[in-house]
Amino acid sequence: MKIYTLTPIGKRLARSTNNPDTIGWKIVHHLDGVGHGTPDQIASYIGESEEETASTLATLKRKKPAIVQEISGGGL
């Protein structure tokens, strides 16, 4: 199960006052408020499809510097 959280850079960006109404910013603000979440939880909260949310999370994770990070990836 993948669980995502903001990096320190992501936390600073979440407090920016100049941000567009995009799925990426919705994700950043949601994670800033709740701390962490799975792609399906995030998609449900921000009102976007799970596929679009997962794709955007992957993009935010690959950015240099990364905005989100995966904090788990293994099972039992």
pLDDT of residue 12: 94
Handedness of CA 19, 21, 23, 28 (dihedral sign): positive
Residue 75 has pLDDT above 70, yes or no: no
pLDDT for residue 74: 56
Beta bridge partners of 69: 5
Which residues are CB-contacts of 44 (< 8 A; sequence separation ≥ 6)?
A: none
Give the Cα separation of 26 and 32 in Å (integer).
10
pLDDT of 17 = 82
Record the pTM. Answer: 0.88
pLDDT the model gives residue 36: 96
Per the structure block, which two tokens stand in for 46? 């921000």
Structure tokens at 75: 């099972």
